[in-house]
Amino acid sequence: MSNMEAGGATRRVISVRALTAAEFGQLGAGHIAYVRPIVVSGAPAFAICAADGTQMAVAPDAAMAAAAIRQHEMEPLSLH
């Protein structure tokens, strides 16, 4: 673990090898959400999932899923 300064703010840097499974699962929580294709009632859709994989919502297409994520001030990531 070490500290870095970026833009006047001190940021803590830790090795991912030192994280517990629970800590690793919380990486990006509140900052990123994943979009992944799913099938709902036989129709294609896109799941919006939290950083830990918990499904939070479903959108009819990837663009709407990304827009919903950005509307909540998070960054969308695609999961294939």
Give ∠ CA 37-62-35 in degrees, rounded to 5: 55
Q: Is residue 58 a contact partner of residue 46, using CB atoms and an 8 Å limit?
A: yes
pLDDT score recorded for residue 7? 58
pLDDT at 78 over 70: yes
For residue range 9-66, what is the model confidence (pLDDT) as tens digits?
677 777 767 777 677 666 666 678 889 999 999 999 999 998 778 899 999 999 999 9
pLDDT score recorded for residue 1? 44
Q: How far apart are CA 40 and CA 65, in angstroms?
A: 15
Its domain, for residue 6, covers 2-78
Own/partner long-range contacts of 8-14 (Cβ < 8 Å, ≥24 apart): none
Residue type, 76: P
pLDDT at 5 over 60: no
Tokens standing for 18?
């030192």
For the entire predicted model, the pTM comes to: 0.65
